[in-house]
Structure 1
Amino acid sequence: MIALDSSVLLDILIGDPMYGEVSEICIGDALARDEVVVCDAVVAEVLAMLDTQVDLMETLASIGVRYEATQEAAAARAGHMNKRFRARGGKRERVVADFLIGAHAMLQCDGLITRDEGFFRDYFKGLKIVVPTPAP
């Protein structure tokens, strides 16, 4: 099972001109091999960013992505990682949702599809990261 970050999901939902197509291909490739899931933090972030009243769960189901709630252990890990981030002088632009997404992917999935590679590699060592990359 592979987790999907909100940035990649938004790429396809809003039709991002640079990343929309490569994100869609990346998700399709992942679906051909395994289940692709989003956690509650992704659902919340995406709904907050969309201008429409889209039924996100219906849209996710139509592309083969399903919702999986964050388990208690992942939520606790996210809190600890966020606390560590702040102790290291981390800026407020990093929100708890980013840590929830990373902890969910680390503890409940086999990897994460994201464009925020640096952050997740830094804070979730060992997490398999898949980055949709446009052709040069």
Structure 2
Amino acid sequence: MMTLIDTNVLLDLVTDDPNWADWSIAQLETASFRGPLLINDVVYAELAVRYKRIEELDAFVNAAGLDIQPIPRSALYLAGKVFTRYRKSGGSRTGVLPDFFIGAQAAVSGFTLLTRDIGRYRTYFPTVTLITPDA
């Protein structure tokens, strides 16, 4: 089973979040036994804001055992369509488009998604298997 890792889970490690770091570490370890841990270009870019140099970010990605998977065109298309539906239903514009790229890639590629952000993924990508705090 391939698991796509959402940015919030990785930031829990990077920031040593007092509420979530232990949960995120445990989930990453469990997922790693089931198969590869993946991130996409969007997650990589979101992580980049926490690092001064690309070499530091790459060292974290390598140490965490993450494989970077480009987002397929079909997922980019799906993300745009689902985001349009989200906006038409009154969703805010601020900071949510990355979630749609991540969710669409998981949906199109058949990846399990490890995340703490549940609502939008369950609503807009109901076929994606989620690993979440309430699972």
Q: Structures share a fold, TM > 0.5?
A: yes
1:93 CA displacement: 2.7
Gaps of 5+ in 2: none
CA contact (8 A) 2:110 2:128 kept: no
CA–CA distance in 1 between the matches of 2:4 and 2:88?
27
Residues 89-98 or 27-36, more deviating = 89-98
CA contact (8 A) 1:5 1:42 kept: yes
Question: TM-score of the superposition, structure 2-length normalised?
Answer: 0.90
2:67 aligned with 1:66: yes
1:47-69 Cα shifts (integer Å, max 9, x gaps) = 12x15436222211112111111
CA contact (8 A) 1:37 1:68 kept: yes
Identical columns (%): 31
Deviation at 1:43, TM superposition (A): 0.9
User: Who is 1:57 aligned against?
Assistant: 58
1:12 is aligned to 13
SS of 2:31's equivalent in the other structure is helix
CA distance in 2, matches of 1:51, 1:44: 10
CA distance in 2 between partners of 1:7 and 1:56 (Å): 15
Mapping of residues 1-136 of structure 1, within 5 Å: 1-48=2-49, 50=50, 52-53=52-53, 55-132=56-133
Q: Give the whole-Å Cα distance in 2 for the aligned partners of 1:51 and 1:21.
A: 22
* Runs of at least 5 residues in structure 1 that lack an aligned partner in the other structure: none
Deviation track 1:3-47 (CA, whole Å, cap 9, x = no partner) reads: 000000100111101101110110010001111100111111121
How far, CA to CA, are the matches of 1:28 and 1:99 in structure 2?
A: 25
Q: CA deviation at 1:91?
A: 1.0
Question: RMSD value over aligned CA atoms?
Answer: 1.5
Structure 1 segments, 4+ long, off by >4 Å, are none
Deviation of residue 94 (structure 1)?
Answer: 4.5
